Homo-oligomer: A and B are copies of this chain.
Amino acid sequence: MSDGSDLRKRNAERTREAILAAAQDVFSTTPYGEASLKEITHRAGANPALVSRYFGSKEKLFEEALSGALDVGMLTSVPRDRFGEAIAELFTTPSQTRINPLPMLIFSAANKETQAIAVALLHKKIMQPLERWIGGADAAARAAEIMAVSTGFFTFQLILPLQPFQGRADEGVRQWLARSLQAIIDG
């Protein structure tokens, strides 16, 4: 039976997961159009033809990769009165292990198909729960504001690098991030 410690060479489930993991890796560091299935499957030790078999298409693979990476818990697991501080700390502490979904979101701008996929998933997996967590009449606006600040920050930290946002960023930038985000939560 296929439990997690299965050592067979051929194992559809395992291969599928390996491709998905590689896709999250690649899609969060490489623009969608430049992320090739050859590269992704190579990293997974698999063959490009399997993407079609297991996911249907590159776009569907992207959808599943993004869906798996989007996790509102990142935000909502933090106490409200420390929100800004905690998120600013998280954003400015580079982590090799955890994959960051925001670059994938930014890269999804690369074509209309992936834009549509991203908008739908963003609503379902982030905006709706985030709005509920925030609560109140203008929760939707405040949730959108949090996304705007976060995405803007990562755009210029990871994709179009500006010096002040590089690496751990400086104290001033961290404080700005913390205060901006806290102000949105406090309303």
Residues of A participating in the B interface, judged by any CB pair closer than 8 Å: 31-34, 105-112, 115, 118-119, 122, 127, 138, 140-141, 143-145, 147-153, 155-156, 159-165, 170, 172-173, 176, 179-180, 183-184
Contacts and interface: CB of A to CB of B under 8 A. Distances in A.
Contact of A149 (B111, B152, B159, B173): B152
A32 to B, nearest CB: 7
A162 B149 contact: no
B109 A160 contact: yes
B155 A122 contact: no
Given A31-B109, A111-B31, A156 B144 contact: yes
Given A31-B111, A149-B149, A155-B155, 14 more contacts: A33-B110, A107-B109, A118-B160, A140-B162, A143-B164, A147-B162, A148-B153, A148-B156, A151-B151, A151-B155, A152-B152, A152-B153, A176-B184, A179-B183
Contacts of A145: 164, 173, 176
A109 B112 contact: no
B115 A159 contact: yes
A123 to B, nearest CB: 8
A19 to B, nearest CB: 23
Nearest to A105: B160
A129 to B, nearest CB: 15
A147 B156 contact: yes
A176 B141 contact: yes
A58 to B, nearest CB: 13
Nearest to A152: B152
B163 A119 contact: no
Contacts of A115: 31, 159-160
A10 B122 CA distance: 49
A65 B87 CA distance: 36
